[in-house]
Amino acid sequence: SVKPKESNVDVLIVGAGPAGLMAAAWMAHCGISARIVEKRNTKIFTGQADGLNSRTIEIFDSLGFSDRVWKESNHMQEICMWNPNAEGIIHRSDRIPDTVVGISRYQQCVLNQSRIERWFIDNIKKYSSKNNNNAITVERGILPESLVIDESKVEDDDAYPVTVALRTLTEEEATPVQAATASKSAASDGLFRSNLVQDDDEADLLRKSQSRPGTKEIVHAKYVIGCDGARSWTRRALGLELEGEATDYIWGVMDIIPITDFPDIRHRCAVHSAENGSLMVIPRENRIVRLYIQLKEVVPDASGRADRSKITPDLIFRAAQKILAPYKLDYEYCDWWTAYQIGQRVGNSYDVHNRVFLAGDAVHTHSPKAGQGMNVSMQDTFNLGWKVALVLKGICKRDILATYQSERRRIAQDLIEFDHKFSRLFSGRPAKDLMDAEGIDMEEFKRAFMRGNLFASGMQVDYGPSNLVVKSGNWRELGDRSEKSAKLLAKAKISDDKFAKKQALATGIPVGKRLASFKVVSQADARPWHLQERLKSDGRFRIVLFAGKILSPQQKARVDRFCAKLDAPESFLRRITPADKAIDSVIDVLTIHASPRKDTELLRDFPDILHPFDQHLGWDYTKVYADDVSYHEGFGNAYKNYGVDKEKGCVVVLRPDHYVAWVGDIDDFEDMESYFEGCMRLPAVSAAQDVGIVVETVSS
Ligand code: FAD
């Protein structure tokens, strides 16, 4: 037999769904060598997830493709609640905004998962070609067959401790079985019907493995990320399990073009019928509407499982008609359908040795009605990807990888807790009156829905203390609830008093949450920008200097002192920046001042380090902003909204994923430096001595 080919790669990603593609996107943007393998031979399908929350769209903006989402998706503005009236007939009882007002510059929108995957593939190709000369493309029709971790090498930064054997599948093996259907539309269960639209380039998307079927390959990887969905092979190979259980609620999903007299069919609706179950309406792009329909007639057997073969589109649709009666509902075209039993489970561990990680559906499953599956899955790898990339680049310490579990497992646990309550309220029968104790109180449902919307926006994510987030608090409350994370998080603790003083400097910039966005005006050219537009996902940490009233001599002296320390040869900024790279290549410094823009001069009033000079490119005009009115887009009032004092200002450190890591005073330089010493591999004295400087503090 032929000896299999062997190769090394820094990161191997298994599975090219939303979570795997987000991981690959970070590798592309950070210039890391990576491969992504997928067992299916085709990407295109209809159905599956469709909801994009505000935070996900902010993330897409930072990667460079939110404009495509915004143009093509359906924007959801309003939710209508429908409940039985005194006669038991459904009526509209409430209207509320779909996205909590003011929470983000983006509102929730819906679009097919396949389009989102398409944009990822384009984006990954573009950035990986630019940063690495070696484009990352999805390798399809490939199946991992074994995974071995060499435990003796897991602490060695240069080692490739994970060995994975891959096999190229035959065409037949790589094409999953398509469920037949008796539906009048003849729509399949959606996995394989093409929804290619004009700009989908088939050849590009269906790129299959070039190897002959059966070809084996051995890959040695520094890190492996298992993003292979709810039935994760990687999870099984690691011997890890999901904890939790299946519920009794069985739901059908149909994407149809509805023919109906129901007045709110183009609004998102939560409909509770008196006796026939509940239904959710999600208006989609291209006249399509998704219906989530409770199937009261299908009940799980003694083993707790429902017989899925009994569930047909006709059965699902008849249930929908009953719930919406007396309104009429029909359709000619069905794009996709499926049925599911809600399982609420979360992984007991998200990694093994911080070398092999699980993400997305591979570590948590829950009902899709809150529209969270795809969002939370992508946000898992948005949290993990930059950490792996920066450890590989030698910028960050390896122990930051433990924060992936401490930060993300709690999100999944919260989601499941919420889903548990919400599913009960949504699947339950509405109470007939106050005495009906078994029925669901519709006011309680509405309150849960509103809380759910806040949660579902993704904005409530609040990471606990660690060496990446400097805040006080009990790790049990703020971090992952597993013992494993305790060691790391305990190290990070600062006193409640000290933290409260720091947080008071920027009350609108909570440490642990993503930085909210307000408009500021470029000092160099008067163009207004949303601050988030300046936070690209390029793997850089950021220091945002709220310089305050820079025209006041006293305040200018403080800013000058801060900048002198930042610019000094022994500063963390100089030490962490490779000698051959620009000073902003690892940490980007942005400034927002509070003096009138027209009276202020970029080159006169701000030290050079805030707008660095390059001998080929001149001054950098993109880094200093004023909190002032713009000509055409009003006044962002950033200092007020961020809760920062205009006289004194403050300093904020952001992680590469835009979560707030540290807040402090402009005079608190040493404390900020110790933040970077805690998470970065700052070069030791000898490296600095090469350029003739003696450095006293050395990071461990
Ligand atoms: P997935 O999207 O499942 O991606 C996993 C990928 O890994 C797949 O491409 C798979 O082919 C590949 N893979 C699996 N095993 C291997 C292996 N051994 N080797 C290589 N590759 C492998 N969410 C909603 O919000 N609303 C919905 O209505 C909804 N409906 C859904 C219907 C179905 C049938 C499914 C499967 C999911 C649905 N979801 C829905 C969930 C949503 O699609 C997921 O939460 C989301 O896609 C999770 O992303 P992921 O990348 O973690 O996993």
Q: What is the pLDDT of residues 170-197, one digit of tens each?
A: 887 877 655 434 344 444 443 333 333 3
Residues 338, 367, single domain; the answer is: no
Are the beta carbons of 169 and 141 closer than 8 angstroms?
Answer: yes
How far the first Cα of the chain sits from its last, in Å, is: 49
How far apart CA 583 and CA 511 sit, in angstroms, is: 26
599 Cα–ligand 1 center, Å: 55
How far apart CA 25 and CA 357 sit, in angstroms, is: 16
Nearest CA to ligand 1 atom 3: 229
Residues 214, 262, single domain; the answer is: no
Among the listed residues 549, 543, 579, 550, the one whose alpha carbon sits nearest the alpha carbon of residue 660: 543
Q: Indicate if 50 belongs to the active site.
A: yes
Nearest CA to ligand 1 atom 38: 48
Residues 233, 301, single domain; the answer is: no
Residue 56: what residue type? T
Q: Is residue 33 assigned to a domain? A: yes
Q: Indicate if 308 belongs to the active site.
A: no
Residues 536, 567, single domain; the answer is: yes
Q: What is the pLDDT of residues 333-388, one digit of tens each?
A: 998 888 877 678 899 899 999 999 999 999 998 876 666 888 999 999 999 999 99
Structure tokens at 395: 């910028």
Establish whether residue 360 lines the binding site of ligand 1, counting it when its CB lies within 6 angstroms of any ligand atom.
yes
What's the burial of 500, exposed, middle or buried (CB within 10 Å: 0-12/13-18/19+)? exposed
What is the domain extent for residue 99? Answer: 74-108+245-342
Boundary-marking domain end, from 396, 429, 463: 396
Establish whether residue 341 lines the binding site of ligand 1, counting it when its CB lies within 6 angstroms of any ligand atom.
no
Reported as type and span, the H/E element at residue 162 is: strand 162-168
Cα 148 to chain center, whole Å? 29
Per-position DSSP letters for 452-496, written without gaps between them: HHHHHTTTT-----SSSS---S-HHHHS-SSGGGHHHHHHT---H
Residue 692 is predicted with a pLDDT of 42
Establish whether residue 226 lines the binding site of ligand 1, counting it when its CB lies within 6 angstroms of any ligand atom.
no
Residue 475: what residue type? W
Establish whether residue 37 lines the binding site of ligand 1, counting it when its CB lies within 6 angstroms of any ligand atom.
yes
How far apart CA 33 and CA 392 sit, in angstroms, is: 10
Q: Is 15 left (phi over 0), alpha (psi -120 to 50) or beta?
A: left
Q: Is residue 10 assigned to a domain? A: yes
Residues 522, 536, single domain; the answer is: yes
What's the burial of 24, exposed, middle or buried (CB within 10 Å: 0-12/13-18/19+)? buried
CATH number at residue 224: 3.50.50.60
Q: Indicate if 284 belongs to the active site.
A: yes
Residue ranges of the chain with pLDDT lower than 50? 179-206, 685, 688-700
Q: Is residue 435 assigned to a domain? A: no
CATH number at residue 255: 3.30.9.10
15 Cα–ligand 1 center, Å: 9
Note if the bond before 326 is cis, omega within 30 degrees: yes
Are the beta carbons of 140 and 213 closer than 8 angstroms?
Answer: no
Are the beta carbons of 100 and 89 closer than 8 angstroms?
Answer: no
Reported as type and span, the H/E element at residue 418 is: helix 402-427
Residues 25, 143, single domain; the answer is: yes
Residues 236, 384, single domain; the answer is: yes
Partner residues linked to 194 by β-bridges: none
String of b and e for 211-244 (b: at least 16 CB within 10 Å)?
beeebebebbbbbbbbbbbeebbbbebbebebeb
Residues 66, 133, single domain; the answer is: yes
Place of tokens 């309003």: 78
Are the beta carbons of 121 and 43 closer than 8 angstroms?
Answer: yes
477 Cα–ligand 1 center, Å: 30
| Cβ neighbours for 487, distance < 8 A, ≥ 6 positions apart | none
Q: Is residue 482 assigned to a domain? A: no
CATH number at residue 541: 3.40.30.20
Boundary-marking domain end, from 342, 361, 382: 342
Partner residues linked to 426 by β-bridges: none
What's the burial of 482, exposed, middle or buried (CB within 10 Å: 0-12/13-18/19+)? middle
| Cβ neighbours for 87, distance < 8 A, ≥ 6 positions apart | none
String of b and e for 266-299 (b: at least 16 CB within 10 Å)?
bbbbbbbbbebbbbbbbbbbeebbbbbbbbbebe
Residues 137, 90, single domain; the answer is: no
- Evaluate the CA torsion angle 467, 471, 474, 476 in order and state its sign: negative
Q: Indicate if 176 belongs to the active site.
A: no
Residue 190: what residue type? G
Residues 658, 604, single domain; the answer is: yes
How far apart CA 593 and CA 600 sit, in angstroms, is: 10
How far apart CA 184 and CA 280 sit, in angstroms, is: 22
Reported as type and span, the H/E element at residue 567 is: helix 553-567
How far apart CA 444 and CA 253 sit, in angstroms, is: 25
Q: How large is the ipTM? A: 0.96
Residues 125, 84, single domain; the answer is: no
Q: Residue 203: phi, psi to the nearest 5?
A: -60, -40
Cα distances (angstroms) measured from residue 494 to each of 546, 643, 669, 671, 696:
23, 22, 17, 11, 24
Are the beta carbons of 416 and 365 closer than 8 angstroms?
Answer: no
Residue 488 is predicted with a pLDDT of 65
524 Cα–ligand 1 center, Å: 46
Among the listed residues 311, 684, 673, 642, the one whose alpha carbon sits nearest the alpha carbon of residue 509: 642
Given ligand 1 and candidates 37, 224, 225, 228, which is best to mutate, with the most ligand atoms within 8 Å of its CB? Answer: 228
- The number of domains in the chain is 3
Q: Is residue 549 assigned to a domain? A: yes
Among the listed residues 549, 544, 589, the one whose alpha carbon sits nearest the alpha carbon of residue 571: 589
Nearest CA to ligand 1 atom 47: 374
Q: What is the DSSP letter of 141?
A: S
Residue 175: what residue type? T
Catalytic residue among 50, 98, 620, 628: 50
Q: Is residue 63 assigned to a domain? A: yes
Reported as type and span, the H/E element at residue 588 is: strand 587-593
User: Helix axis angle, 373-392 relative to 54-63, nearest 10°?
Assistant: 40
Q: Please state the atom number of ligand 1 nearest to the C-alpha of residue 18.
A: 51
Residue 622 is predicted with a pLDDT of 98
Nearest CA to ligand 1 atom 4: 17
361 Cα–ligand 1 center, Å: 7
Residues 142, 14, single domain; the answer is: yes
Cα distances (angstroms) measured from residue 294 to each of 319, 332, 543:
7, 21, 49
Q: Is residue 416 assigned to a domain? A: no
String of b and e for 453-473 (b: at least 16 CB within 10 Å)?
bebbbbbebbbbbbbbbbbbb
Among the listed residues 510, 517, 546, the one whose alpha carbon sits nearest the alpha carbon of residue 534: 517
- Evaluate the CA torsion angle 432, 437, 441, 445 in order and state its sign: negative
Boundary-marking domain end, from 356, 379, 396: 396
String of b and e for 569-578 (b: at least 16 CB within 10 Å)?
ebbbbbbbbe
Q: Is residue 456 assigned to a domain? A: no
**In terms of DSSP bridges, do strands 624-626 and 587-593 run parallel, antiparallel, or are they unpaired?**
parallel
Are the beta carbons of 491 and 482 closer than 8 angstroms?
Answer: no
